[in-house]
Amino acid sequence: MVIYMIGLGLDDEKDISLKGLEAIKRCRHVYLEDYTSILNVPISGLEKLYGKKVIPLSREKIEVADTIFSHPNEDVALLVVGDVFSATTHVDLFLRAKEHNVRVQVIHNASIMTAIGETGLELYKFGKTTSMPYFEKSYMPQSPYDAVLENLMHGLHTLILLDIKRSENRFMSVNECLRQFTQIEDVRKKGIFSDRSLVVGCARLGSEHRIIKYGTVMQLMDSEFGEPLHCLIYPGKLHFMEEDMLKLWKV
């Protein structure tokens, strides 16, 4: 048995690499992990190009990984939106495969972790990436705020990934994320999410309909970003070339 872990890239069925496509053709079973990220096409679009049935995996299924290991004598493909190792779930699967003595072949692709380079911010100058979850009545974690604060102390940029509730078809927007940051600001009062703080909002990077906007928290909170997926960047210390690039996206 071989498990092919194949990155699909960021936009549609055509972002797969030729190597990835060839690997799919060799597999009897093709699964898709699409609860940590989504493509801009339905599964039927993938099936049409790949010529295989593509079975979506729920969080539970993939974390137990039983499904993947239930075909001991056949090759299996696990398709991951973006790149394979930009979510810890997939490291877990890789480790389990090693425990089962199963060969794994990884085929990489573009990820949000590198697509943000299009903003002009230096990838080498990003610090810890953080995630903003949807707040609930008694759940308002401040860890995303702490991550930005800590990165800023070292002059580093922060990538903030936004919550996805796949089962409810809910994808956090830049606007919602900024509103939540201002709620934390009201408690922490460090001034990093004041009305005048400058941030970068991105939507659908990697697609021809991508949006990048640079402006104050106030401006971006009221700005239209359209369909998911969105992410937010809090810039740290800027080099003049980064400043020049950000000017291109000013609202």
Ligand X SMILES: C[S@@+](CC[C@H](N)C(=O)[O-])C[C@H]1O[C@@H](n2cnc3c(N)ncnc32)[C@H](O)[C@@H]1O
Is the preceding omega at residue 229 within 30 degrees of 0, hence cis?
Answer: yes
**Residue 10 engages ligand X in binding (rule: CB under 6 A):** yes
Size of the site for ligand X (CB under 6 A): 22
**Residue 180 engages ligand X in binding (rule: CB under 6 A):** no
Cα(100)–Cα(122) distance, rounded to whole angstroms? Answer: 40
Find the binder of ligand X among 202, 211, 233, 238 (CB under 6 A). Answer: 202
Cα(210)–Cα(10) distance, rounded to whole angstroms? Answer: 11
Find the binder of ligand X among 5, 127, 152, 204 (CB under 6 A). Answer: 204
Find the binder of ligand X among 30, 65, 161, 184 (CB under 6 A). Answer: 161
CA atoms within 13 A on the CB side of 90: 28
**Residue 6 engages ligand X in binding (rule: CB under 6 A):** no
Find the binder of ligand X among 16, 46, 121, 164 (CB under 6 A). Answer: 164
Question: By rule CB under 6 A, what string of x and - marks binding of each residue 98-137 to ligand X?
Answer: -------------xx-------------------------
The nearest distance, CB 130 to ligand X, in angstroms, is 11
Q: How many CB atoms lie within 10 A of CB 139?
A: 8
Q: Please, what's the largest Cα pairwise distance for the chain?
A: 59
Joined together, the tokens standing for residue 151 give: 């990165």
Q: Which is nearer to ligand X, 143 or 194 (CB)?
A: 143
Find the binder of ligand X among 24, 75, 86, 193 (CB under 6 A). Answer: 86
C-alpha torsion sign, points 235, 213, 11, 181: positive
Q: Which is nearer to ligand X, 76 or 161 (CB)?
A: 161
The nearest distance, CB 33 to ligand X, in angstroms, is 8
CA atoms within 13 A on the CB side of 159: 22
**Residue 96 engages ligand X in binding (rule: CB under 6 A):** no
Cα(229)–Cα(192) distance, rounded to whole angstroms? Answer: 24
* Span interacting with ligand X, options 79-87, 118-126, 145-153, 186-194, rule CB under 6 A: 79-87
The nearest distance, CB 229 to ligand X, in angstroms, is 4
Cα(190)–Cα(187) distance, rounded to whole angstroms? Answer: 9
The SS3 call for residue 182 is: helix
Cα(175)–Cα(171) distance, rounded to whole angstroms? Answer: 11
User: Cα 244 from chain centroid?
Assistant: 26
Q: Which is nearer to ligand X, 29 or 108 (CB)?
A: 108
Residues forming the site for ligand X (CB under 6 A): 10, 36-37, 80-83, 86-87, 111-112, 161-162, 164, 202-206, 229-231
